[in-house]
Structures are given as C-alpha cells and as structure tokens.
C-alpha cells in the first residue's frame, strides 16, 4: 500500500538517521510488502546513551506512548536526532485519529498554515482532529495563496500577522497542512516566530511526504534565487495520511513518484526493482492491489 512506498522512500532519503517500525498487528504481511533492505533498522547518527535507548526501543518495536487499539498507523519511522528526535506516522486515514495529532501539540493554541487548494479539502478535518474531546485547545488558521511564486517574504508575513494578531505565545504549535511549499513556509515561520515554536508537519503531496517533510529543511525564495532563506528546524512529528493522495492531481502524483524513483536508483536497488514491478499500480493509485501484489 501507499504507506510502504512512502516509508521506504523516507528511509532512502536519510538512511543514516532514521529507522522504520513496521506494523505490530500483522508483521508477516508487512514484511512481505516491502523490499528487505528497506526494513533494516538504521544506526543513529551519533552514539549517546539516550539515543542508544531509543534505538533499542525501536528495534524491539515497543508500543508508542498510548497505542490506539485499532490504529490505522501502518508504519512509524523514527528520525534519530538526539533531543530533536521525532516520529513519522504513516497510514491511510490517520487524520481520523485525533489522539495521534493531539499528543504532539504543545500548549493550548494552534495555528494551521495551509493554502487555498488544500484548505477546502482538509482544514476542517485537521481542526476536528486537533479539538476532538479537547475543548481547551483553540485553533486559528491562515490560508495562503497557492503556488511556488508565493513562497516568499510577503506571504510569510501573513503567517506572522496572523500569529501576532491572535496573540500566540511561545507555547503554541504551528501545523503545516499542504505540500512542500506550505511545509517550507510554515517550518521557517515556526523556526523564527518568537525565536522558535512547536511545529507539526501534515504533508499532503507525495513529494512532501517522501522528501520535503523529512530532514528539517525549511525555507523560502528570494527574487535572486530559490530557497535562499531558510533554517534547519525539526518538527515534533510528521503525520502522513496516505488518503490525502487520492485528491492529488495526476501531475503532482507523478512529480512525487519521480522523486521516489530517484531515491531507489541512487540508494536502494531492491526498492527500485520493487517500484518497477508496481509502477502501474502506484500511478493508478491502486493501493489495494499494490498491497497484495508486491513481491521482490
Ligand atoms: N525542504 C525540503 O527539504 C524540500 C525538499 C524538496 C522540495 N522542497 C520544496 O517543496 C516545494 C514543492 O513541493 P510540492 O511538490 O509538494 O508542491 P506544492 O506544495 O506546490 O503542491 C503542489 C500542488 O498540489 C496541491 N496540493 C497539495 N496537496 C494536495 C492534495 N492532497 N490534494 C490536492 N491538491 C493538493 C497544492 O496546493 C499545489 O497546488 C518546492 O518549493 C520545493 O523547493 C523542499
């Protein structure tokens, strides 16, 4: 299914620092669905007692804090960065699990940053997930114009305007809901608002799910060049609901698939071979067939 594709690509993106945790409920099925090299646990970047402990937890596939009994999370990829370590949750329909998102919110104020295309599709759902049985949390949102040409300082100011007008303090959380453009803008805003606030990524394009939401790079364009202004800033978590891919235009899906193919070619031959066998199902978004037919 889509989760396998994204998790394998995420591991390929930053193999030295991240390790996947495959589903606890059906390990045999999961093992059959991905190339074996993508299942191996990756060593952390630097050795420290704390990180060694975290690695052991990952290796033993210990349950997360409060595992929902019927969780739709099919994969958790742990990114090991000492005190900035964070999980990437992947699965179909995981935006319907409010607990998953809420456990990473700090404070009682949330600012969702999204755009005019994604807001009508997912803003209501994300607001529900943030507030369900959680009356103390209030959610503001800022809806930016859609497009790479808006990844600039003028548009960034709209995020700061909203945050300041809403009197958000340092104990607030910024949530990026959208593709790579929104992730880059919201991440950079989170890194600099009040010298840094809590940040959650909900990437909704395949490109953002396999690439831009992983690694902590944020930034915007300057008239003289792309991505010239930015910062490295890690989120508290990345939440990838693979069902958001169902509304993605074909062209955007293909753009993300191209990134996945590149990762396979450069770093992971078995993953690349697996893609070759499943490309028709991937492009057709035929996730059910994709899940059962994968063999490497
Ligand atoms: N920070 C990094 O490490 C990194 C890495 C790679 C790319 N990037 C950046 O990412 C950006 C490209 O990201 P992108 O390809 O996601 O483009 P994008 O963010 O512009 O999204 C593409 C289009 O899809 C729409 N969209 C998003 N989710 C949707 C959904 N679920 N359903 C329907 N429509 C949806 C968007 O509104 C937009 O029109 C570039 O600015 C690039 O510089 C950053």
User: Residue 49 pLDDT more than 50?
Assistant: no
- Take residue 122 and report the two structure tokens written for it: 């997912």
User: Residue 75 pLDDT more than 70?
Assistant: yes
pTM: 0.84
CA 219 – ligand 1 centroid, Å:
13
Q: Summarize pLDDT for 264-296 with one digit per residue, the tens.
A: 999 999 999 999 998 998 898 887 655 444 443
| CATH fold of the domain at 2-289 | Rossmann fold (3.40.50)
Q: How far apart are CA 91 and CA 240, in angstroms?
A: 7
The arithmetic mean of pLDDT across residues 78-85, rounded, is 92
Q: Summarize pLDDT for 237-260 with one digit per residue, the tens.
A: 999 999 999 999 999 999 999 999
Q: Which residues have CB under 6 Å of ligand 1?
A: 115, 117-118, 121, 146, 148, 151, 178-182, 184, 204-205, 207-208, 211-212, 215, 217, 227, 244, 247-248, 252, 255
Q: At a CB cut-off of 8 Å and minimum separation 6, what does 228 contact?
A: 219, 221, 222
Backbone angles phi, psi at 40, to 5 degrees: -70, 145
CA 217 – ligand 1 centroid, Å:
14
Angle between helices 250-267 and 2-13 (to 10 degrees): 50
Q: Which of 144, 179, 206, 226 has most ligand 1 atoms within 8 Å of CB, for mutation?
A: 179
């Amino acid at each position: 299914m889509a989760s396998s594709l994204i998790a394998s690509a995420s591991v390929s993106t930053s193999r030295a620092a991240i390790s996947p945790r495959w589903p606890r409920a059906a390990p045999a099925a999961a093992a059959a669905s991905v190339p074996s090299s993508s299942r191996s646990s990756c060593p952390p970047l630097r050795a420290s007692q704390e990180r060694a402990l975290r690695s052991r937890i990952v290796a033993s596939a210990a349950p997360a804090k409060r595992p929902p009994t019927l969780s739709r999370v099919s994969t958790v990829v742990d990114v090991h960065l000492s005190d900035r370590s964070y999980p990437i949750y992947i699965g179909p329909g995981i935006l319907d699990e409010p607990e998953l998102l809420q456990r990473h919110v700090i404070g009682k104020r949330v600012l969702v940053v999204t755009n005019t295309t994604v807001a009508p599709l997912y803003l209501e759902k994300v607001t529900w997930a943030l507030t369900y049985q959680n009356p103390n949390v209030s959610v503001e949102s800022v809806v930016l114009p859609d497009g790479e040409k808006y990844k600039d300082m003028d548009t960034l100011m709209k995020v700061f305007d909203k945050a300041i007008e809403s009197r958000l303090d340092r104990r607030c959380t910024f949530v990026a809901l959208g593709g790579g453009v929104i992730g880059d803008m919201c991440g950079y805003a989170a890194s600099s608002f009040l010298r840094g606030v809590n940040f959650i990524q909900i990437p909704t394009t395949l490109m953002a799910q396999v690439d831009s939401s992983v690694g902590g790079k944020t930034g915007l364009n300057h008239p003289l060049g792309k991505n010239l202004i930015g910062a490295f800033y890690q989120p508290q978590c990345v939440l990838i609901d693979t069902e958001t891919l169902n509304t993605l235009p074909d062209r955007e899906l293909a753009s993300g698939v191209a990134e996945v193919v590149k990762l396979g070619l450069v770093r992971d031959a078995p993953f690349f071979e697996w893609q070759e066998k499943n490309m028709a199902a991937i492009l057709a978004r035929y996730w059910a067939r994709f899940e059962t037919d994968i063999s490497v």
